[in-house]
Amino acid sequence: MKVYTSAALTLGAALLFPLSSYAASCCGGGSGASLVLPKFKDLSVGIDIAHEKYDGFWDKDGLWHQDPEGSDLNQTRLSLGIAKRLHDNWQISLSTPFVWNHNQYANNTFNTSGIGDSSITVWYEAFDDITCTWVLDEWEDYKPAMYFGATLTVPTGISPYDDVQNNFDITGRGFYRLDLKTSFEKTVYPWNATVALNYGKYLERSVNREYGAYVAPYKKTLGDRFSASTSLGYTYFIGNGETITITGAYAYMVEDKATIDGLTDETSGINKKSFSGTAAWGNEDNSVVTKLSYAYTPHYHNWGKNFPTTSSLSLGLNYVYD
């Protein structure tokens, strides 16, 4: 049985967002949103387990709808990442998730699993010294840590254009995407703040199969994507140099309508607004950071479009080598 319901729109909301638990600031243990090496560190590895629950969806007009009674839609992800310093101000990171879909919908149960879409990110650090400070006495104290980078998303996951039966089987989007990214971070202890911007462009691909059925070949391109996030955090020093950082964040994402053989697909185009909170523990030198994050999307009209409303809980562990 094939399922093409609105409730299954883009099942796998995290496929559209960075992995949230791989964070590190320029001075370690900060509130960033991707696997970033602290300044002067050489190598970092991270593991993250996340559970995401789907509860309703926005239609193409931005109206929110509850899923049919008896629905229980969930996704669990185990994500692995590694970051390596290439030069004084350059670093590269790789990340890959493994995805489990556990779903009950319309009196049917669907349980599938597979690798999700992977990503490769290169960052340039536009600063030479750690920018974290306790006071703002001189002009140099006001300078933020500025990162500029690019990410290539590789469609290693299972997409609607593979041999699948319905939306509940997918673990990826099926397209390469190149993103240009920038992040500005400033820590004036005990406070820290970040602003991140991202612009992505999908590469066109040929399609000759949809949900396992072969179709007349056509070319498809997903719409350009823009996302922005901002966060504010506070660090508690709890003795022996250990820290606990509490961070709140807001994120916005919009993706333009797709094109099929050059014609606009009027049923496509997505956007979403969400909130998240993170509690992070770091040891005395921030070589080990553990993070617990909760993300939530409000169940209101006009807070999204063509997208599910979700809540997710994730636990991440990051280890940094000198």
Sorted by where each starts, the structural domains of the chain and their CATH numbers stand as 6-321 (2.40.128.130)
Overall size of the chain counted in residues: 322
User: How far apart are the C-alpha atoms of 205 and 219, rounded to whole Å?
Assistant: 6
Could you count the other beta carbons within 10 Å of the beta carbon of residue 163?
10
User: How far apart are the C-alpha atoms of 115 and 126, rounded to whole Å?
Assistant: 34
Q: Which helix (H) or strand (E) holds 275?
A: strand 270-282
Cβ(220)–Cβ(203) below 8 Å: no
pLDDT by position in tens, the chain (length 322)? 444 444 444 444 545 444 444 445 666 654 444 588 999 999 999 999 999 999 999 999 999 999 888 889 999 999 999 999 999 999 999 999 999 999 988 778 889 999 999 999 999 999 999 899 999 999 989 999 999 999 999 999 999 999 888 888 899 999 999 999 999 999 999 999 999 999 999 999 999 999 889 999 999 999 999 999 999 999 999 988 899 999 999 999 999 999 999 999 999 999 999 999 999 999 998 899 999 999 999 999 999 999 999 999 999 999 999 8
The confidence score (pLDDT) of residue 92 equals 97
Cβ(194)–Cβ(31) below 8 Å: yes
User: How far apart are the C-alpha atoms of 75 and 111, rounded to whole Å?
Assistant: 10
> How far is residue 277 CA from its own chain's centroid?
14
Q: Which two tokens stand for residue 134?
A: 């306790």
Closest by Cα among 263, 267, 257, 275 to 311: 275
The confidence score (pLDDT) of residue 24 equals 56
Closest by Cα among 47, 48, 69, 58 to 13: 58
| Residue position matching structure tokens 């999307």 | 297
